[in-house]
Amino acid sequence: MKKRWTSISIATSILAISLSGCTGKKPTTEKLDLKVCIASEPATLDPTLSNTVDAAVMLNHTNEGLYKLKPDENGKLISVPGQAESMEKKDTENGTVYTFHLRNGIKWSDGQPVKATDFVYAWRRLVTPKNAAEYHYILESVANAQEILKGNADPSTLGVKAVDDKTLEVTLSQPCPYFETLLFFPALYPVRQDIVEKYGDKWTQDPTTFPCNGPYSFKEWAHESYILMEQNQHYWDQQSIGPNSLKFMLMKDVNSTYNAYNAGELDYIVAIPPEEALKLKEDGKLHISDTLSSSYMIFNYQKTPFDNPKVRKAFSLVIDRNSIIQNIAHFGKPAGGFVPFGIKDADGDFRANGGDYYSVKKEDYQKNCDEARKLFAEAGYSDGENFPTVTYLTNSEGPNRQIAEAIQHDITKALKVTISVELEDWNTFCATRKEGNFLFCRGGWNGDWDDPTTFLKIFLKDTGNNEAHYDNPEYEKLLSDAERESDPVKRMQLLHQAEDIVIGKDYAVAPLIFGVHKCLIKDDIKGVGHNSLGIVLFAYAHK
């Protein structure tokens, strides 16, 4: 995914990058029809089940949660009330109670009113075990959620209820310092029970069966080609929306995407050939901003030979991260840990305080390789002897093939083993990775909120995002203790200890690069916003 937000309250700023003079003003010039490309065909646009950043970007335009993103007069994305007009918070002996008052007159694109029960249904659907929603854990602090997820309670007991059509009450049974940052997360968008029950898992596949409550509604979905959105005439804040239409082109090939942009067929792209990106950077045409994102290698530690932590650590140590950045990616920072720079600690930056689990300095690379060969010998594979041929799996889009070949080269040279590379298209790759049908593969994660847990929680045993199939009771306990800890200093200490285990001890994954966001946008397009969590917002764009 994915995805995506920082601390929110009414009119609280989110760390953001403004692109091309972003403002929140309604355009007053010619009608604007934007054509953009952020990815290929999304696996799903079901708000409850989606788990990719591209789907989140699209859903931020068609649907809306209790809060939403909007650029302020200085071009920064801020969190403002969306479907909820106001919020009240009250601490009780049994937890925290939030009361949300929905706006009058809010409607779905088919004219039906948006009700508090639509939120109740969506949130219950998120924690219903049979739905296998990968983001179910974001509601763990809501009363009864954990018992529901374990199968010990019915979803109807979740601590969320519709007091009336316009009032939603949510009860938290334990502290959650980032709960308010989740209120415009797609998984918490309202969903229509009548639609889902009538059309089943196909309800989002056809615009005629997908009612939207955001600034845009689906007009047409030509699968593997494009998704066309037009302004939602029933949207409560339609008067402030810019583009008349948004056309998301679904393109896989980076060169084709770049050529289409240069030919004037696209207004905005993120897929840029690496060699071209360097030239564009030098010319001042490339927009670059930091993101809360990590790319890494995932080890299937339940399968031989990666069931040995010494093998996992050895593979991690021999990757020349600086070379990959310099010769292939051209952007980003070498990752010495999993949680990236830019996430707050109790005091300072979490990554800066946590340090590196192995040196990412250029001058230390050979020392890393020497240590890796020693570990490999201890694991019984001296000079690669008896080590089986293993396949590195990655998706074919972008520079992933070249990065895979660099990984192949580094491991083969340092450890004298045979590595093959297998490429799959994005959706196939996502399914393969989720099912665990790999030995080691490419992984990537964009933060969903400004807290270390947005990265660390993906290694919890029962989360759908645990593609490493990691399972460590000690790790689980540390995160559980952190969830219940109200002291921010002690809480962060627990989270550092958790990362020490998953990366510093178990080497469940091998962090590679802390990424950046790169894009090209036509000079005459203003008002496109992007934040550090990967969300791009076109709704307020204008010329």
What does the pLDDT look like over 321-334, one tens digit per residue? 999 999 998 899 99
The answer to whether 199 and 127 are in contact (CB under 8 A) is no
d(CA 214, CA 67) in angstroms, rounded, equals 11
- 461-501: per-residue pLDDT in tens? 888 789 888 999 999 999 999 988 989 999 999 999 999 99
pLDDT for residue 302: 85
Q: How far is CA 358 from CA 311, 443, 456, 496, in A?
A: 15, 19, 18, 16
More confidently predicted of 11 and 38:
38
Q: Show Cβ contacts of residue 415 under 8 Å, excluding neighbours closer than 6 positions.
A: 314, 315, 318, 372, 373, 376, 381, 384, 387
Q: Which two tokens stand for residue 509?
A: 């994954």
pLDDT for residue 74: 62
What topology does CATH give the domain 290-517?
Dipeptide-binding Protein; domain 3 (3.10.105)
More confidently predicted of 512 and 463:
512
d(CA 191, CA 184) in angstroms, rounded, equals 14
* Residue range(s) of every CATH 3.10.105.10 domain in the chain: 290-517
Q: With bands split at pLDDT 50, 70 and 90, how would you rate the model's confidence at 18?
A: very low
The answer to whether 486 and 175 are in contact (CB under 8 A) is yes
Q: With bands split at pLDDT 50, 70 and 90, how would you rate the model's confidence at 5?
A: very low
pLDDT for residue 75: 61
pLDDT for residue 43: 87
Q: Show Cβ contacts of residue 527 under 8 Å, excluding neighbours closer than 6 positions.
A: 20, 21, 22, 23, 24, 25, 27, 71, 75, 242, 540, 541, 542
Query: What is the pairing mode between strands 419-424 and 390-395?
Result: parallel
Q: With bands split at pLDDT 50, 70 and 90, how would you rate the model's confidence at 197?
A: very high
Q: With bands split at pLDDT 50, 70 and 90, how would you rate the model's confidence at 24?
A: very low
The answer to whether 384 and 415 are in contact (CB under 8 A) is yes
Backbone torsion region of residue 148, taken as left when φ is above 0, otherwise alpha when ψ lies between -120 and 50, otherwise beta = alpha
% of the chain beyond a pLDDT of 70? 94
Q: Which two tokens stand for residue 15?
A: 């760390």
More confidently predicted of 26 and 392:
392
* pLDDT (mean) for 358-374: 97
CB-CB neighbours of 169 under 10 Å: 16
- 385-426: per-residue pLDDT in tens? 999 999 999 998 878 999 999 999 999 999 999 999 999 988
Q: What is the CATH number of domain 12-250+522-537?
A: 3.40.190.10
d(CA 101, CA 66) in angstroms, rounded, equals 9
Q: With bands split at pLDDT 50, 70 and 90, how would you rate the model's confidence at 427?
A: confident
* pLDDT (mean) for 257-275: 94
* pLDDT (mean) for 96-121: 97
d(CA 315, CA 510) in angstroms, rounded, equals 8
**Which run of H or E residues covers position 415?**
helix 400-415
Q: With bands split at pLDDT 50, 70 and 90, how would you rate the model's confidence at 122?
A: very high
- 69-87: per-residue pLDDT in tens? 987 766 667 788 999 999 9
Exposed, middle or buried, 219 (CB in 10 Å: 0-12/13-18/19+)?
Answer: middle
Q: What is the pTM of this model?
A: 0.85
Q: With bands split at pLDDT 50, 70 and 90, how would you rate the model's confidence at 374?
A: very high
* Residue range(s) of every CATH 3.40.190.10 domain in the chain: 12-250+522-537
